[in-house]
A and B are shown apart, each in its own frame.
Chain A
């Protein structure tokens, strides 16, 4: 509807309302802020305001040792700490030429994929909650709690793992833990189906998601969307397959992409559906790794005083929120010279302004949830 024309017809003077969504708002997943201009409920502009969770993680990297920086990378994205661990360690290994033991690589993949499960569960669960379905949220968190318990067994922490170290992993995965992981997967896969029956198949849920905030392929590339957001737009791009690292080339898994079978290609439902299918794919990967887990040491010999050769490198992994990259410069000293972190949520934030024009306030919440932006990852 043309608002100005209506104004001329009725003679009423109308003006936009400016609302501050956040930084303390129930569905901004941390501390995001949007300055939203609305006409009633219809948004004309939503400007993201970032920086509420800035912790100078990049600068800290210049002040602590290579080994000591690993626990800090946990905090870059606390929902998926394992990936930041891994990518920093990969960067350090690349600079120093440190080999990673084979068992270490498998332990890394197991831990990372479990962490991906946990992160995606949070994502789809809170997405349900944003739309008003409380029960799926708690069910997702219930499953995540089991994953956290497994993580506690593997590495002793539930959220900030500091598990992946330069040269391998800190602690070996014990055989009894392997059994418990496969027991969990047996229990988890039917639960994903149940989750789909409860939430994904729900007509109200579909109506809320389908056709909302459609990202075209061009936009996805232009705005540099990564991970499930990019795949939701129908582009088959996954670092695990396209720039292979670790032992992923040996594993069989599919890369789910958005199909647009409900609504339009690249809408919120596609992004959500990619995540749900990635849950199932991650289960498959963990199962394969448990089967293939070789014997041997979990970490190779690395000097306590780790001093990689001077140089620089950029390493990326496929984190739950997409391509996570660390650009690390070494000057040959005990400390990294510069660390730069590239995360998926930051670019996902930038497209919100474009997508939010003309949608309703309730849809903005859907949009934020479907892009799975995560405040700690944006600000670092």
Chain B
């Protein structure tokens, strides 16, 4: 070890420490990155999430056609749908429509195959529960009838709103035509 390299070691150390300390010091006047979830934030965090955010699944049963596409496509079988024949009305009813949030891996495949946009990812992610059973979402607590899409658009104003919401979700979230929609804008 020569004298030159000995001195170089010392000066290198001093210089690099000096440089590093100037960087850390400069961070004292930079804005911290932290988001102080959940209380010290200007707007609820759900509102700041992007449109495509894949949160907890929600189902609008009023516009669900009972096509079972979501149940079939789910790679993890977290969606279970039961459809029975109602003896009084002679129509098919949902006996249950359960989504096990414990199992769900938020891949988004179910919401993409849905023809009406009835099953969709919400911006919600706070799903804590005291037991696993509490994480199973029951969307058909009572038997409910299936939705039948009408030719020429929905006439019932209440349902029409819901159909529009579902369609809008499909257009914005799962855009199979990709660039075309963006191009038109």
Contact = CB atoms under 8 A, between A and B. Distances in A.
A207 B27 CA distance: 26
B175 A171 contact: yes
A199 B20 CA distance: 7
A295 interface: yes
A202 B75 contact: no
Interface string A203-246: 11000000000000000000000000000000000000000000
B127 to A, nearest CB: 16
A104 interface: yes
Interface string A143-157: 001000000111111
B179 interface: yes
B26 to A, nearest CB: 9
Contacts of B159: none
A354 interface: no
Contacts, number: 107
B101 interface: no
Given A203-B13, A203-B16, A171 B52 contact: yes
A249 interface: no
Contact of B75 (A69, A153, A168, A172): A69
Interface stretch (B88-96, B107-115, B160-168): B107-115
Interface string A169-208: 1111011000000000000000000100111011110000
Interface string A67-96: 111111000000000000000000000000
B175 to A, nearest CB: 6
A64 interface: yes
Given A71-B75, A297-B178, A299-B178, A157 B106 contact: yes
B179 A172 contact: yes
A197 B19 contact: yes
Interface residues of B, number: 40
B173 interface: yes
Contacts of A169: 178
A296 B176 CA distance: 11
A68 to B, nearest CB: 3
Contacts of B23: 194, 197-198
Given A71-B109, A298-B175, A156 B54 contact: yes
Contacts of B12: 203
A115 interface: no
A145 B37 CA distance: 15
Contacts of B13: 203-204
Nearest to B180: A297
B90 to A, nearest CB: 31
Contacts of B176: 297, 299
Given A145-B33, A170-B112, A171-B173, A157 B54 contact: yes
B53 interface: yes
A160 interface: yes
B147 to A, nearest CB: 21
Interface in B139-185: 173-183, 185
Interface string A117-155: 000000000000000000100000010010000001111
B52 A154 contact: yes
Contact of A175 (B17, B49, B182): B182
B24 A198 contact: yes
Contacts of B17: 202-203
Interface of A: 64-65, 67-72, 101, 103-104, 135, 142, 145, 152-157, 160, 162, 168-172, 174-175, 194, 197-199, 201-204, 295-299, 304
